[in-house]
Amino acid sequence: MSRRFEIGDALMIVDVQNDFCPGGALAVPEGDQVVPVINRAIQEALDKGIPIIASRDWHPEHHCSFEGQGGPWPPHCIRHTEGAAFHPELALPEGVHIVSKGQSQDKDEYSALGVTGLGDWLRQREISRLWVGGLAQDVCVHATVMDALKEGFEVCLMREGTRPVQPEKGIETVAEMRSAGAEVV
Ligand SMILES: [Zn+2]
């Protein structure tokens, strides 16, 4: 990491769940390789005393984003299942703020901000900058970063701590995040 965490920062870990890792229902290629990168960031955040947030897809059984319901994805991250659990090696500390999304049957949420109320949670804690990593770079990380920028937060995208579903789309979305104002580190 080229820059260090400072007071006013938060670490935002997006959807590092079993179903998005190799062997999962909606595996992101090399998805599990974000874990050691993010674990180092977690340690640094703990050392600096900055808040850590972890989002998770937390779908009902017949969620509208699933193919059987006409959605684009195979069934994944059904709440309370092993697939929806965080990757077992992800070193989430006690006190991590967990944000669950995609909980309504008829609505999908890629972004960890927006209707989850996370923006208010951050503002209440005077957080102005988010360090973002997780899965997938071209879907939920992208949506989260774009929403964060729209809500006025600064964003550092930890590129090595993310992986895309589709490599070309990853390149495209990283360029889009950068031109929207995210710092890519
Ligand atoms: Zn989902």
Q: What is the pLDDT of residues 45-58, one digit of tens each?
A: 999 999 999 999 99
Instruction: Determine which one of 15, 19, 138, 147 is catalytic.
Output: 15
Name the superfamily (CATH) of residues 9-184.
Isochorismatase-like (3.40.50.850)
pLDDT band of residue 116 (cuts 50, 70, 90) is: confident
Q: Which of 9, 19, 57, 101 is catalytic?
A: 101
| Residue 18, pLDDT score | 98
Is 140 among the residues known to form the active site?
yes
| Whole-number percent of the chain with pLDDT over 90 | 96
Concerning whether 169 is annotated as a catalytic residue, the answer is no
For the cut 50, the answer to whether the pLDDT of residue 8 exceeds it is yes
CA of 28 to the centre of ligand 1 (A): 13
pLDDT above 70: residue 3: no
**18 CA → ligand 1 middle, Å:** 12
The environment of the single-atom ion ligand 1, i.e. residues with CB closer than 5 A, is 57, 102
In this model, does residue 68 exceed pLDDT 50?
Answer: yes
Query: Average pLDDT over the chain, rounded to whole?
Result: 95
- Indicate which residue of 21, 77, 140, 156 is catalytic: 140
CB under 8 A, 24+ apart: contacts of 143-147: 143/110, 143/111, 144/12, 144/14, 144/55, 144/110, 144/111, 144/112, 144/113, 145/177, 145/180, 145/182, 146/111, 146/176, 146/177, 146/180, 147/111, 147/112, 147/113, 147/114, 147/119
Domain boundaries, the chain: 9-184
Annotation says 101 is catalytic: yes
The pTM of the full predicted model, rounded to 2 decimals, is 0.96
Instruction: Give 4 Cα–ligand 1 centroid separation in angstroms.
Output: 31
How far is ligand 1, taken at its centre, from the CA of residue 2, in Å? 32
Is 97's pLDDT higher than 60? Answer: yes
